[in-house]
Copies of this chain bind each other. A is one copy, B any other.
Amino acid sequence: MIVTPESIWMDVETIRGTAPLVHNITNYVVMNNTANALLAIGASPVMAHATAEVREMTQMAGALVLNIGTLSDAWIQAMFMAAQSAKKADTPIVIDPVGVGATSYRTQTAKALIAATSPTIVRGNASEIMALSDKDALTKGVDSIHEAEQAIQSARTLVETHQCTVCITGETDLILEPNSQHKITNGHPMMPKVTGLGCTATALCGAFAAVNPDGGQAAAHAMAVMGIAGEIAARWAKGPGSFQLHFIDALYGLSFHQIKTHYNA
């Protein structure tokens, strides 16, 4: 996979120019932030979870993002329905297995969703990715207790079983595809101190996947943009509270010059 400042910028411009609709079935904690991040990068977010409407909503969408952060049976049912609708329309599906490994409910749901949907991209932290293929891996609530590098073997298994892109985020972000692997080293240590930035990363994968048929490149572009916006925000921030708003401002104002200056693979 080839990832350059130019390839990143091309996708950003396409998102800004076409405002792809990204349908999110996501958790309560991050809905507001991920909607704002999607708007800031130029996409058009929609949240809808009722089984009575998810099929129709997904049909309009350029990408479907499924996030299991605050799960319940009704939402799981809606996720499967929406995924089926997305598959039929060849709409890219992005899955965030939040907290998988913390409870068997999450582990089973995430595995079943991935198996049923063959998603374009799975994005999680190292512990989550490990819990998807190693039955003994544990997650502390929704926080990782592993480094991205430790999850490579699990990610590789997922990639090969489901022919998808797996994106492991952490200090270093690793993007694995069937035949290649890419590393993004952008980002800032304050990012894990803001709730839901992982979920935002997943939502941005949705925006990029909506405009770029290459899942690996879409994921890498999303991670680069996350990391670069994070670095810009950190310069302006006094703490994770102000970081949050500067991050949205940075996404909104992101220029080719900033991407060229900051991009670090």
Taking Cβ atoms with an 8 Å cutoff, the residues of A that contact B are 19, 21, 23, 27-33, 35-36, 39-40, 44-50, 52-53, 56-57, 60-61, 69-74, 99, 102-106, 140-143, 192-196, 237-242, 244-253
**A246: chain B residues within 8 A (beta carbon):** 238, 241-242
- Shortest CB distance A99–B (Å): 7
Choice from B23, B31, B102, B239 contacting A252 with Cβ under 8 Å: B239
Q: Contact: A29 with B29, CB < 8 Å?
A: no
**A28: chain B residues within 8 A (beta carbon):** 28, 31, 47
Q: Give Cα A245 to B73, complex, Å.
A: 34
Q: Contact: A141 with B29, CB < 8 Å?
A: no
Q: Contact: A29 with B27, CB < 8 Å?
A: no
Q: Contact: A103 with B195, CB < 8 Å?
A: no
Choice from B27, B71, B104, B248 contacting A240 with Cβ under 8 Å: B248
**A242: chain B residues within 8 A (beta carbon):** 245-246, 248-249
A39-B193, A141-B60, A240-B39 are contacts. A50–B72 as well, Cβ < 8 Å? yes
Q: Which 9 A-B pairs have the closest CB atoms?
A: A241-B248, A239-B249, A46-B141, A241-B245, A53-B105, A35-B195, A53-B103, A239-B252, A56-B103
Chain copies in complex: 3
Q: Contact: A32 with B35, CB < 8 Å?
A: no
Q: Contact: A36 with B195, CB < 8 Å?
A: yes
- Shortest CB distance A133–B (Å): 20
Q: Contact: A103 with B57, CB < 8 Å?
A: yes
Q: Contact: B53 with A71, CB < 8 Å?
A: yes
**A50: chain B residues within 8 A (beta carbon):** 71-73, 105
Choice from B23, B27, B103 contacting A141 with Cβ under 8 Å: B23
Q: Give Cα A103 to B85, complex, Å.
A: 14
- Could you name 12 residue pairs across A and B whose Cβ atoms are closer than 8 Å? A32-B32, A35-B195, A45-B142, A47-B70, A48-B71, A48-B102, A49-B70, A52-B105, A60-B141, A239-B248, A241-B246, A244-B248
From A192, which residue of chain B is reached at the shortest CB distance?
A: B39
Q: Give Cα A244 to B46, complex, Å.
A: 19
Beyond the given pairs A36-B244, A39-B193, A45-B195, 11 more chain A to chain B contacts, judged by CB atoms under 8 angstroms and listed by A's residue number, are A21-B141, A29-B32, A31-B70, A48-B102, A50-B105, A60-B140, A237-B249, A239-B248, A239-B249, A239-B251, A241-B252
Q: Give Cα A28 to B192, complex, Å.
A: 22
Q: Contact: B47 with A29, CB < 8 Å?
A: yes
- Shortest CB distance A235–B (Å): 12
**A21: chain B residues within 8 A (beta carbon):** 140-141
